[in-house]
Structure 1
Amino acid sequence: MRCSGLVRLAVYESTGKDLYSPAPNADGSMGKDSSTNGMLRSKELSNPNTQIWTGAPRNVDPGSLGAQPGDLLFYGKSASPTAPNTHHVAIYVGNGVIIEAPQSGEVISMNLWTPHDDLVGIRRVS
């Protein structure tokens, strides 16, 4: 399971909200896009009320930026978690712990958050 699939399932199971929004094809029909970017097109995540923190890529503990258990952590090269170059999403558990699916085919794991220089946003879905 990819990171976006893990987050989609966890949010759906806990809130009943589906974060997946497929991207339209060039002809206007809806395409199949299971990438992190496709998931991020959701109106739920583009709602400014869900934004906890967005900024230039940082190397700081998400808790120091206001993250709470269940918040989504976005990684990328831009200052917006809805930008096309967001490449990873994880779930913050609290106390420096995250749940993530590093990439397709790898085991979903609970890990201590380790410093990354590409944390670009934190979102809360309720």
Structure 2
Amino acid sequence: MSEVKTLATLVLGGAWDATELGENDIQPESKLIEELQQRLITGFDDVHIQLVDRADFDRVTAENQALQQRLTTADQRNDELETQLADREQSRRAWFDQCQSLERAAPVSANIIGIVPMPPMEYDEP
């Protein structure tokens, strides 16, 4: 991952006392800002860039990386399960085809498996 470049540093002035804060200052990295301007400006329109707190940026970046890792893991598991399902389906089809070919080769007879037709039963009427 490429490194984040600092375009400017915001210096927040310390407290003079309990009621008054010091002056704020922005210290730009002029060379980086000029390079960014050359890349982004394509006409007469201004380009607006929002500056964010680095701690928030780092937190959101870490969350994004964690979510991406979870997605990658889930995708890998999904691929494994699809492969297992395809293998099982192939085995099931082979078993089914084998059973069909055996049935065609030697049809099952009721006498072979010991089924004998029984005469109708007689019932005593009360």
TM bin, normalised by shorter chain, reads: under 0.3
Higher-helix-fraction structure: 2
TM-score, normalization: structure 2?
Answer: 0.16
Higher-strand-fraction structure: 1
TM-score, normalization: structure 1?
Answer: 0.16
Bigger Cα Rg: 2
